[in-house]
Amino acid sequence: MRETGSYKRLLLKISGEALAGEKKFGIDPKALEETAGIIASIHQEGYELGVVFGGGNLFRGRELMPLELDRVPRDHIGMLSTLINGVALQNKLTQKGIKTKALSAIDCPKVMESFTNDLAEEALSQGKVALFVGGTGNPYFTTDTAAALRASEIRADCLMKATKVDGVYTKDPLKYKDAERYEEISYRDMLNEKLEIMDATSVALLRTNQIPLFVFSMELLKKMKIQQILSDKRLGTLVKGD
Ligand code: UDP
């Protein structure tokens, strides 16, 4: 397994809420600009970069319960939300002169190509940012699992999960003041301790395929390079090993 400093190919997972801005819903112009700027600068650092977006700024299946729809259509709405985010981000990146390839897990040929591993590999080897949307294409999953799946498929050196908290904690740091952050933890311990930074399906997939996971704060990306973030153990949690 490579040292964090020598990572070349990254899969970045960004939750939809990064695009929501202060209104906490929809796509905020400033947040969109900022997120596209972050992706552009990671690409300019020289990494081969795949990005999986969430859709939580628009619709999450579980939050649509009041509509009294069944689970499958609720999750379809959630997955389609990630396509909307992808369309917006792809265009912003294009406007910035960044070459991209958007690939969807849900066939939507008038909008973008469908995901295949070959197309993803081709795009990454051509130096394009690969945008993976549509989640896994299946209900009952999350975009975290989609990120673990795509990271495994493209054989990423690391899955970088940019989130609200700056790492994996012994307990929820937003609720408990005495929560302590791990600098490093194994997948086994993360599962055993039921640390809920990612759902168990995504953790199991990463563990089986031995893809390291780095959990860090999205806020850091606004002021620091990925290279710096990865080389400083105080800036997140590295999950790896068995
Ligand atoms: N979703 C799904 N299958 C997938 C990925 C996502 O059904 O493979 C649906 C699910 O309803 C989820 C929504 O899409 O709530 C948006 O994804 P997620 O909640 O992971 O977005 P995030 O919280 O990362 O913004």
Structural domain boundaries enclosing 158:
4-239
d(CA 120, CA 236): 28
* C-alpha 75 to ligand 1 mean position (Å): 7
Among 13, 51, 63, 75, the mutation site with the greatest number of ligand 1 atoms within 8 A of its Cβ is: 75
Contact 14, 162 (CB under 8 A): yes
What's residue 91's pLDDT? Answer: 98
Mutate to test the pocket of ligand 1, among 25, 51, 60 (most ligand atoms within 8 A of CB): 60
**Mutation choice for ligand 1 from 79, 138, 164, 198, CB with most ligand atoms inside 8 A:** 79
Ligand 1 lining (C-beta closer than 6 Å): 15-17, 54-56, 60-62, 75, 78-79, 81, 135-136, 138-139, 141-146
Q: What is the length of the chain?
A: 242
At 100, give phi and psi (nearest 5°): -135, 165
Cα–Cα nearest to 222, from 44, 38, 49, 39: 38
At 155 the pLDDT is 98
CA gyration radius for the chain?
A: 17
Q: What is the predicted pLDDT for the residue at 174?
A: 84
The pTM is what? 0.96
Asked if 65 and 77 touch (Cβ cutoff 8 Å), the reply is no
Domain count, the chain: 1
pLDDT confidence of residue 44:
96
pLDDT score at 1: 61
Residue with tokens 């990254």: 10
Q: Which residue has the tokens 């929809």?
A: 26
C-alpha dihedral (189, 190, 192, 194), degrees to nearest 10: 160
Rounded average pLDDT per 10-residue block, the chain, 242 residues? 84 96 94 97 97 96 95 98 98 98 98 98 98 98 98 98 92 90 95 88 96 95 93 93 91
What tokens were used for 11? 């899969």
Residue with CA at minimum distance from ligand 1 atom 6: 142
Instruction: Determine which residue's CA is closest to atom 15 belonging to ligand 1.
Output: 60
Report which of 29, 95, 48 is spatially closest to residue 226, judged by C-alpha positions.
48
Indicate which CATH number applies to the domain containing 132: 3.40.1160.10
